């Protein structure tokens, strides 16, 4: 392994443990930590869980919950007896249950078309309770929809890889990031922490180092941003060879903070790169160009991972 530069100060307040246990931050920016010792109802914030669910999973959960709730109430009505529901004609059990299910859906949503109505205290009580749960459920779902749409997000797309490329008669570690929505970000600032595995007294531990990019802050985040960490005598990677980069467990933990001008609020996004995601001897290719009429700039987000191999 390349010689460790003793002038580089180890970071003590990274918030991570020195014990090697896989990557510290997942690609989606969430911490790779599982918590135990407390029951599941108190372990999770269900509000945050639903806000962070992917769009199709979120909609899928709502649809499945809606169907299950109506199946449960339909089963209760059917168990009470269809004679306690006016407007349902005697037919096959399947058709009767379908009618009861749609009565439940109308009650749950408080639509109430009127063709089917409860008769008797028990059926009326169940219908009243179901309507109450329906109002409560749709209020919660509406709040979650609003929370998902109104929550400020950075909407940043990171390159899947980082590269070690030639830079100013030496080398540098680089990765790219771009804003992919039509939000307006400014005053973007990056923080990069390097977790490097080291063997100390026969025990593998991770040491953390704050590494500085050549450009730590930009005023306007309009195009892609190529983050560059120059490997010089002030870098913990000083003296690293290609074999060192391949055989050492490395993780670059990235956090970008920017100001969203629409929401007038700060937004944060994280990601990380581990050893297998660092390509040695490569250079990113340009991902933006002028339009045909030369009046605007075209940013090709699908080219964020494009690179070519180069000799170092």
Q: Over the stretch 238-276, which tens digit does the pLDDT of each residue have? A: 999 999 999 999 999 999 999 999 889 999 999 999 999
Q: Can you give the pLDDT at residue 88?
A: 86
Residues 166 and 121 in one domain: no
Give Cα separations from 162 to 23, 191, 279 (angstroms). 15, 15, 6
Residues 190 and 296 in one domain: yes
238 CB contacts (<8 Å, ≥6 apart)?
A: 2, 3, 5, 8, 231, 232
Q: Can you give the pLDDT at residue 11?
A: 63
C-alpha closest to that of 227 among 165, 310, 182: 165
Q: Over the stretch 223-248, which tens digit does the pLDDT of each residue have? A: 899 999 999 999 999 999 999 999 99
Residues 144 and 172 in one domain: no
Q: Can you give the pLDDT at residue 205?
A: 80
Question: 207 is in which domain, residue-wise?
Answer: 160-309
C-alpha closest to that of 26 among 257, 277, 283, 289: 277
Residues 248 and 191 in one domain: yes
Q: What's the pTM?
A: 0.79
Q: Can you give the pLDDT at residue 6?
A: 46
Residues 174 and 281 in one domain: yes
Give Cα separations from 125 to 72, 86, 121, 294 (angstroms). 15, 15, 6, 70
Q: Over the stretch 157-180, which tens digit does the pLDDT of each residue have? A: 999 999 999 999 899 999 999 999
User: How far apart (Å, rounded) are the C-alpha atoms in residues 117 and 88?
Assistant: 9
Q: Which residues of the chain have pLDDT under 70?
A: 1-21
CB 77, CB 108: distance < 8 Å: no
Residues 123 and 182 in one domain: no
């Amino acid at each position: 392994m390349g010689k460790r530069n003793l002038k580089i100060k180890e970071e003590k307040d990274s918030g991570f443990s020195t014990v090697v246990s896989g990557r510290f931050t997942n690609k989606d920016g969430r911490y790779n930590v599982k918590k135990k010792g407390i029951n599941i109802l108190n372990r999770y914030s269900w509000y945050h869980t639903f806000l962070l669910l992917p769009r199709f999973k979120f909609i899928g959960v709502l649809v499945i919950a809606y169907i299950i709730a109506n199946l449960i109430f339909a089963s209760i009505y059917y168990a009470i007896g269809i004679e306690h529901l006016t407007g349902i004609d005697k037919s096959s059990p399947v058709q009767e249950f379908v009618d009861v299910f749609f009565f439940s859906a109308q009650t749950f949503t408080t639509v109430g078309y009127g063709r089917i109505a409860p008769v008797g205290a028990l059926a009326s009580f169940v219908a009243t309770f179901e309507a109450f749960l329906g109002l409560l459920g749709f209020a919660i779902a509406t709040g979650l929809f609003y929370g998902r749409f109104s929550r400020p997000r950075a909407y940043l797309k990171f390159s899947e890889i980082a590269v070690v490329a030639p830079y100013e008669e030496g080398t540098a570690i680089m990765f790219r990031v771009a804003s992919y929505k039509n939000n307006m970000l400014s005053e973007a600032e990056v923080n990069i922490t390097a977790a490097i595995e080291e063997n100390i007294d026969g025990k593998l531990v991770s040491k953390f180092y704050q590494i500085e990019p050549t450009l730590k802050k930009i005023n306007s985040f309009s195009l892609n941003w190529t983050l560059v960490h120059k490997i010089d005598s002030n870098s913990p990677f000083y003296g690293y060879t290609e074999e060192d980069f391949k055989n050492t467990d490395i993780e670059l933990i990235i956090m970008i903070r920017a100001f969203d001008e629409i929401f007038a609020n700060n937004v944060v996004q994280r990601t990380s790169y581990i050893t297998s995601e660092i390509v040695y001897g490569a250079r990113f290719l340009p991902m933006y160009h002028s339009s045909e009429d030369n009046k605007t700039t075209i940013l090709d987000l699908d080219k964020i991972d494009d690179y070519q191999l180069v000799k170092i």
